[in-house]
Amino acid sequence: MDLDDLYQEIILEHYKEPKNQGTVADANVHVEGRNPFCGDEIKLTMLVQEGIVQDIKFTGSGCAISQSSASVMTEHIKGKRVEEVKKLFEEFGHLVRGEEHMHEQIDDMDELSAFQGVSAFPTRVKCAMLAWNAMKEGIEKELERYAE
């Protein structure tokens, strides 16, 4: 099995059996993301306390890229500090756009690396980033609310 096959297998596995699907009962962050070009939708619920993503879950519909990206994202940010999550957001964005960047939190064997092939299909970058953009928006709203 070559690396491309492994990456496709990871994406399909998370699409068929998504992790962290559902809603967080005591969520303090609710955010939706939508890609009007293809119809992909994501709804995230998160519990962010003391600068840490305590819990995150998603519901939605769409292509294998958008849904599996949401699944992998939830696994990778749960339990992390907001600062780490923001850095991971930036690194993942560079990865899926095929931009040169030092990925300090993503190594070659990380499930997030499965999405690096998306850069060859620019219209799919929006699919891969859908949940990530929604998550960033939700965290920023929560930080603004907390700062008030």
Extended strands (E) in 1-148: 29-34, 41-49, 52-61
Give tens-digit pLDDT for 18-70: 999 999 999 999 999 999 888 999 999 999 999 999 999 999 999 999 999 99
Buried/exposed code over 124-140 (b: 16+ C-beta within 10 A; e: otherwise): bbbbbbbbbbbbbebbe
Tokens standing for residue 14: 């998370």
Q: For position 78, what pLDDT does the model report? A: 96
Q: Hey, what domains does the chain have and what are their CATH numbers?
A: 3-147 (3.90.1010.10)
Whether the predicted pLDDT of 88 surpasses 80: yes
Q: Which of the four pLDDT bands, split at 50, 70 and 90, describes residue 148?
A: low
Percent of the chain with pLDDT over 90: 68
